[in-house]
Structure 1
Amino acid sequence: MFKHSLKRLKSAVDRDSFHDPYLGLRIARIDYKKPYMLCSQYELIVLAIMQLLIKYAYSQEFKYAKFTIGYIMKVPSGDVPYIIGFAIRLNDNSIGNAHPNMTIYEQILNFLKVKEENYDGLFLSAVFIRMYSIDMVVRELALSLDEIDSQIWDLLSSGLSGGIHQEFLTIARGRKRSYKTYITATKSSIKDKKSFIVANLETILVNYIHKPYAAGYLVEQQGITIGALQDSKFITIFSENYNPDFSYFQDRSNRTIFGFLESLEKVANFTGIRIVYFLNFSHFDGIMNLKYYTTYGGTYTIKPLMRNMRIYTLEVYKGKKDFDLSGFSYPSPRKSS
C-alpha cells in the first residue's frame, strides 16, 4: 500500500536539505543511506522528488518557476552528479498557479523510467532538484512530513482521468519488481561505432530573454563504461559557481557558457572526438553557440549549415591551417523538440 511505499522510502533516506545560492535559485536534495537507492527503483524515487517539490518549491510564492531533476550516482571513482531530462515548469499552463498536478508527476516518472533502463543495477547516493524562479517570495517551511505525504496521496488517488496512475498501482498493491544485476550488452551486429560527445544548455528567462544558467557534457567513448570515465569526461558548469567573482547574473551567465565551451574544446582536443550532439541544437542550443562564437569567439572560424530557419550543423575551426578543432561540429538531431 501507499503507506508501505513511504515507509520503504523513509527507511532509505538519510536526510533532506536545501540552500539558496543566490536570488532565483533553490537547490533541494535527499541523501540516501547505504547501500543507497537503485536507479531502477524509480517508483520510490518519484515519491522522493514529489516530497522535495512540495516541501521546498510549492510552499513558496513566485511569478514563474521551473526545475530540473538531478541524480548523484555512486561509481568507483566517487560521486557523479548530473541532470536528467528537460526543465519542467511549475506553473499551471491554464491558470498560471503552481500546485502539484499529474502532468508534472507524469513528466518526472517518464524521466526516471529512462534512467532506469539506462542504468539498471547502479546506485544513487542522492537525488536533488534545482528550482529557478522569478520574483520568489520566501515563505517559512511549515509543512510536516505527514502533511506532505497526504498531498502526494491526494494527487495520486485523483490520478489521471479520475483513476490512480498505473505505475503507482504497481507499488500500492505491493508487487515486487524483478531487477537485473547487470547492464545488457550492445548487440554485436552494430559495427564501427564512433565515439561522440553529448551536451546540453539550460536557460532561465531574464527580461523575457533566455540566459544560460547551466551547461554540461558527457564524453561517450566506445568500449568505456560510465563508471570508468575520468572526471574530465563528465562536466557540469553552473552559474552560481562564479558567484564570488561576478555580482550580476548576466556576468555569471556569460562566464557559464564561456567556461563550458572552453572545457569542451579542451576535452575534444585531448580525446580527438570531433562531433558533439546537443539536445535541441536546431532551434535553441545552436543559437546560443552561434551567439558566443560570433560575439566573443574572435579566434574561431564557423561554418553553419542552415535551412528553413533551422541550424543543422555548426563547424568550428581555430586558426587558418594549423587549427586545433579540425571540423569540430555540432550536428542537430534528425528531429528537434
Structure 2
Amino acid sequence: MENAKDKGKARAKEKEKANEKAKAKPLDKANSKAITIGEQKFHSLNFWRSATPQLDFSLWEDLQRHISSIRGESLYSGCFQVIANFRDPYPLAVNGGLLVLSFFQLLELYVYHLTSSCIKFNMVTRLVYDSIVKQVSCYGERHESAAVKCAIMRIYYKSSGESVQEICPIQKDSTELISNIMGVMATPSVENLNLPRVESLKRKKSRKSKILTSIKRPSSQLEPRPFMVADIETVLLNDVHVPYAIGYLAVYPSLDLSSVAPSSIHIADSFNSFSSLEEESQVILSRFIYDLEIAGRRDPRLRTVYFHNFARFDGLFLLKHLASFHKDFKIKQLIREHRLYELKIYLGERHLSRFRDSCTLLPRSLAELAHTFCPELGFKGSINHEAVNISNLLSLREEYVRYLRQDVLLLGGVMRKAQETYFFKYHIDVENVMTMSALSLCIFRTHYYEPDLFPICTLTKNQDSFIRRGFYGGHSDVYIPYGENLLYYDMNSLYPHVMKKYSLPCGEPFWRNNLTKVDLGTLFGFVEASVVCPKELRRPFLPYKSSDTLIFGTGHFVGGLFFFEKRSGSPFASIISSLYELRKEAKKAGFEAMSFILKLCMNSLFGRFGMDPEGQVSEICSFSRYEELLVQSGFRSTDKLDDDVYLVNYRRNIRHLSAEEWRPPRNLAIQISAAISAYA
C-alpha cells in the first residue's frame, strides 16, 4: 500500500464549482439521474433503462438544436446508412441520453416504415433499442469528454434482387416520433437475455475435461528470426486518409541498426489532385507488396512485417488494397472486435508474408518505447500532420521522408530489442506470438507451469457457461465527489498479488447439488445461490447480472454450485515473482515503458484464460456468401472492399450452439479468471 497525502486536492478543486451542490451519496455516471460536467448538464442513460421511461421534452428539443442535418444514402446492394450530423458545439460521448435519442430518431424516420419485401427485422424493436442504449453507454465510458460529430447507423438486408434505391425519411412530426419511441420503451424488456444458458445440473459428474499441457522448452541452438518493420504516411483529402508514402526495413538479430543503410521508401510522384494521388497511393502499395515478395524469395525466414498501429490504421489500407488489386493472392485475416490483428497473404499454397501490429505486443507510443529500448537511435521526429496537404507534399517532401525513415528505424530498434530481451531471458521469440497475453501464456507454459502439481482444465460448454454467469468486474463508485486534504490509497499490483498468494481452482471439475447439510465453510468452488441482502444496507457488495448490466443491489436475487478439488497454492507464484522482480528493476532504472509492459505481462495472463468464447471474427467472401452469413444470428456488419469482395463480421460460438458444435479459443479456463477477479 502507498500513501500520498493531498494528491487529490488540486484535481478536486477544479470540479468544486460543478459539484458544489453535490451531496455525499452514491454517484455513478452510468446510473445517476444527470451528470454535471463544467457548465453543461447531461441526461444519463438510467432514463432509458427504466421500465416505463417518461421523456423530458427538453431532451428532444436539445437534440434538435444539436442536429445540423439528417440524410440517408445507399452504399451497395443490401446495405444503406443513415447519418445525423451535429453542429458545433458538438455533444460529448458522455451525453448518453441525447445520443441514444438520436439513434432512435434515425430508426423511426428511415428504417421501420420500409416494406418487409425488402427488409426483414429479426429482432424485437425493444431489443434493438436496448442494444443501442448498451452500445452508447460503453462508448461514453471509453471516450467520456470526446466530441461526437455525427451518429451513423448502417442497415443490412437481404436484397433478393431488390434494393433501396432512394433513402428518404418518412414524414412524421415531433409528437408522433416521440409517441412511437416512448411506445417502444414502454414494452417489457427481457431480463437476463444475454446470460449464458446452463443445462441441467442433475448429472453429478461431467464429461472429462482436458488438462492444459506445458510446452517443451525450445532448443538452445535456435536463433531468433529476422523480420521487417514498415510505416505508412497519409494525407487527409476530403475527410479521407490517402497514403502518399510507405517505408520499410529488414531487421536481423545481429544487425547494428545505428549503422544500417536507410530504410527503403516508396513515395507518390504526382500531387496534382485527389484522383491522381489516390491512383499513386495504390501504385506505391503495389510496389511495397512486390518488394516483400522478392525479399521473401531471397530469405524465406523474412515472413513477418510489423506496423505500429496496424490493427486500426495501416492494416485497413493494406487489406482493401490487397482485396482490390491483388486478386491472385489468397488473403487470410484475423479480426477480433474490429481490430485487425494479422493479415496473411499466400500465392497459391506458398505463404508470402504476414502483417502484424507491434502495439499488440508493446502497447505504448513509439516515442516512449524508443526512449526505453533504443535511445542510441535518437528521438522520434515530429511533423504537424494536420498541416500536411496536397499543396505542400512536394515542397516538404524531404522533411516528410526523413520523418518516415526515423519512425521505421525506431520501430526496428524497438522490436529488435524486445526480441533480444525475451529471447535471452526466456528463449522465446516474440516473432512467434501475436499479443502480450499470448506471450505471457507462452512464458508460463514453457518455464513455470507444473501440470502434475497444479493442473488447469479446459471446460465443456456447460461448465464454462455456468461459471461465466458469475464472472464479474470490480465495483467502482464515487461516494463523495469533492473533498480537501484527501488521502490517496492504491494497491500495489493487486491482480498479480492474488495470482501469487491465493489458492486457485485447479484439477478436475465436478458438480454438487444437494448442499442442505454441507458446511458452507468447507466449500471451494463456484456458487449459484439465493441471496437476501438487507434493504437498509447503504453500500451493497454482492453483484448479479441483469440484461448484461452488473448490479450491486439489495433485496432478493438468485444465483448451483460448481466445485474443484481443493489445492493449496497457485500455479502462477513463480512467474509472478520473476516478472515482478524484473519490473522493479525497470522502475529503478527509470524505464517506464518497460515497467508498463511487464505489468501488462502479469495482468494479461489471467485475462487470457477468461476470453469470451463468443468472439467476433471476420471473413472475406463473395456476395453470395455474404448473403448466407447475413441471415445467421451471429451476423454483425459488413464492408464492401471491391466488386464481389465483402468483409463480413460475425460472432462464432453463439450461445444456442450444442456442446458438440461449440469451438472455444484454445487454452480457455474461465475458472482461473473468475476466481482471480473474485479474490481481487
Is the strand fraction higher in 1 or 2?
1
TM-score under structure 1 length normalisation: 0.45
Please say which structure displays the higher CA radius of gyration.
2
Q: What's the TM-score, normalizing by structure 2?
A: 0.24
